[in-house]
Amino acid sequence: MRKKAKVDIKDSMKEILFRAFDIDKKEFILFNLKEPDEYLFGRHGVLANTVTKDWEQYIGLKDENKQKAFEGDIIFVGEHYEGDHRYPPTIYEIIFEDGEFFGTSANDEYMNLLDAFRNYNAIIIGNIYENPTLKSKLEG
């Protein structure tokens, strides 16, 4: 009879992390649902008034600088090729829609984020709260 391999569940679980932007302090608050931040929720579980109502989830990928990627981040993907087709350098906003994370550009082009981070060396260059000018470039 074969022995079952012992698996440490902590090592095999995906990190589920969120952030919310504090408008007054102009910084992100990182939290998970196991240990919510008391500042974020207050003593009675009420969302603080100065924090955006948008929770942005960590997508499970990091850029080449080891920075964690979240919804609302703006990424730069350099020129790359798929077969003979050339894709120019483009910036994308990371969004979550219809059950999946993906990047969307000013031209409504979509980018598979796994490809962007693993194959095309995507770099996080900002986010929609701290860098609104980047967001306006995405809107045309």
Predicted confidence (pLDDT) per residue in 47-87, tens digit: 566 667 688 999 999 999 999 999 999 999 999 888 999 98
Q: What is the pLDDT of residue 22?
A: 81
14-138 maps to which CATH number? 2.30.30.290
| pTM listed for this prediction | 0.78
Domain ranges of the chain: 14-138
Residues 6 or more apart from 40 whose CB is under 8 A from it? Answer: 20, 29, 31, 47, 48, 51
Q: What is the pLDDT of residue 140?
A: 55
